[in-house]
Chains A and B, each alone.
Chain A
């Protein structure tokens, strides 16, 4: 089904722009897929347990800003220092993991709906970003960091390898481990899962930590590709990650969704997005159309679940 939609989209776009399926376009799409895909994965895992993570973008920005500060404070412009870059990347990812843990703890222990808890942490961490940067943009990174988001290895963007490995990890986690089966079980019936002796608190915290890990990876790629970090970056991505997750077949009420669906969702989204670009569609109208697509995707999703 999703393959079919993807094929139709590619054909439609190619009709308008005959050289669309060229190496250059494929490569430019391939640069954008990892960040979007990782953020979508971060959103999707929480949707699998029937939750939602509205703090993904705020958390990615916080990670980006801290990474940027570590690098700009310790590495003189024009020089390079790989240990510091590695330290920055590790700290950046750990921050998003920590934000995920905070989300999970709040949701699991205070029994606050995921939406409100993550809306609250989004507000809080946006505040932290603003307090750290005082609204300024932090930029100017060493080449070794820029390499992550702006280079290719064997013709394929470096970030694509990170994306592939991360999603392989997620697929194994969901398909082959007890944790994975618990996620689907909990997502489809919370009460039954609780009565079957699953530690639901630990499950929720783990899920939000994994979500945080994916946010952290996305933050590394985003910061490297933008070559800048600031509060409020990429805020339009929040709706898009939910859109792609639902497009990829994730049930927003929990219990259903596959990694392959997420990948196809991102591909469809990128092809449609380039199509809108080729048509020179007004960017605001594009936002409205994405809203319509989200409604359609969610309707189809709900109809299929009802059957």
Chain B
């Protein structure tokens, strides 16, 4: 009985539809490109190319579940990247140290966001928009836009195996951790609670400041890890490598079926959302669609899926209220 219910829940979930869309796209692209799409080299470049953005999507997922938004994460990622690159250029460094430095910088800047979000109580978009300009402006002013490259050998040497294992390894680890936190930890429950109804969560005794500190620090830390992977893949640190891709990451998360008003969503959906964006943009290149039209196609897909998610949520809440459960999704 329980098993049957679970199965039904799976088939009506947005992940199931997303999986179908992903599979359909893969089949279509494989047929259209005469098997080129499914070749190992293409699949590898697809996953590797989107690994940094995908890693960061795991962090953004957590904020959106909590009913907020963070658009400063790429600015944070860039600052973390500069910090760890400077460290490597000055003292060589090692793998553990660069992760520690990047994560420390990222989570510290995230904490600044959290404190502002908690005390100012304005829309999180406006607060993180402000911190984004502050982080970005200060970084540009302080670095004068210099590119950093020529890293020590241990970081610069890329083998055929490491170029696949490092990004995918980080991607898998970050998603497993996020999945574990959201699914099994107390903190995860509190994040969903805040996203569902922040006032109710407060009255239940959830320490909102603590949870928000965790959420925004987590985004910052994950963004910093994404920045390390990005830096490893392209072997340089520049100001415009990451900033400007915020929307792509947010789109991956929202495509993954996160309830747009917070309180719902999970890591597996975000993986599928990330694959959809990656497959789509890789497929457009393989199909030789001019890069001038790619933004248009991807923008359309994202907007349509936003609308579908919104429409489905309305259907669900109608069904729920017909069953007598007066759930007020909107407020």
Given the complex of chains A and B, what is the CA–CA distance between A117 and B251 in angstroms?
Answer: 11
> Taking A106-B303, A130-B295, A294-B130 as contacts, is the C-beta distance between A301 and B331 under 8 angstroms?
no
- Indicate if the CB atoms of B134 and A124 lie closer than 8 Å: no
CB of B30 within 8 Å of the partner chain = no
* Nearest-neighbor residue (CB-CB) of B311 within chain A: A110
Whether B138 pairs with A239 at a CB distance below 8 angstroms is: no
Q: Judge whether A52 and B123 touch: CB under 8 Å.
A: yes
Could you tell me the distance in whole angstroms from the C-beta of A55 to the nearest C-beta in chain B? Answer: 11
Could you tell me the distance between the alpha carbons of A130 and B295 in the complex, rounded to whole angstroms? Answer: 8
Q: Could you tell me if A106 and B307 are in contact, using CB atoms closer than 8 angstroms?
A: yes
Q: Which of A125, A295, A301 counts the most chain B CB atoms within 10 A? A: A295
The verdict on A128 contacting chain B, using a C-beta distance below 8 Å, is yes
- Residue pair A120, B302 in contact (C-beta under 8 Å): yes
Stretch at the interface among B34-42, B114-122, B164-172: B114-122
Nearest chain-A residue to B254 (Cβ)?
Answer: A116
Which residues of chain A have a CB within 8 Å of any CB of chain B? 52, 106, 110-113, 115-117, 119-128, 130-131, 134-135, 190-191, 239, 242, 246, 252-253, 282, 284-292, 294-295, 298-299, 301-302, 306
B137 touches A116 (CB 8 A): no
On whether the beta carbons of B313 and A253 are closer than 8 Å, the reply is no
Minimum CB–CB distance for B316 against chain A, Å: 11
Give chain B residues whose Cβ lies under 8 Å from the Cβ of A242: 126, 129
In the assembled complex, which residues on chain A have CB atoms less than 8 Å from the CB atom of B247?
A: 119, 122-123
B51 is an interface residue with CB less than 8 A from chain A = no
Q: How far apart sit A306 and B119, CA to CA, in the bound complex (Å)?
A: 12
Q: A106-B306, A242-B129 are in contact. Are A253 and B122 (CB under 8 A)?
A: yes
Contact across chains for A130 and B292 when beta carbons are under 8 A apart = yes
Interface size on B, residues (CB 8 A): 48
- Which residue of the partner chain A has the closest CB to B313? A111
For B122, B260, B302, which residue has the most chain A Cβ atoms within 10 angstroms?
B122
Q: A131-B295, A289-B137 are in contact. List 15 more A-B contacts (CB 8 A).
A: A115-B123, A116-B306, A120-B251, A128-B296, A131-B293, A134-B292, A239-B130, A239-B133, A242-B129, A284-B140, A287-B137, A288-B138, A291-B129, A298-B120, A298-B127
Q: A126–B254 contact, CB under 8 A?
A: no
A112 touching B307, Cβ below 8 Å? yes
The chain B residue sitting closest to A236, CB to CB, is B133
Which B residues are in CB contact (< 8 Å) with A246? 126
Q: Which of B127, B250, B295, B310 contacts A110, CB < 8 Å? A: B310
Q: Give Cα distance in the complex from A287 to B251, angstroms.
A: 26
Q: Is B136 an interface residue (CB 8 A)?
A: yes
Q: When chains A and B are docked, how far (Å) is the Cα of A109 from the Cα of B207?
A: 35
Bound Cα distance A127, B230 (Å): 25
Q: How far is it, in angstroms, between the C-alpha of A110 and the C-alpha of B290 when the chains are bound?
A: 31
Q: Known: A111-B310, A128-B296. Is A291-B131 also a contact (CB below 8 A)? A: yes
CB <8 Å contact, B122 and A291: no
Q: Which residues of B contact A292 (CB under 8 A)?
A: 130, 134
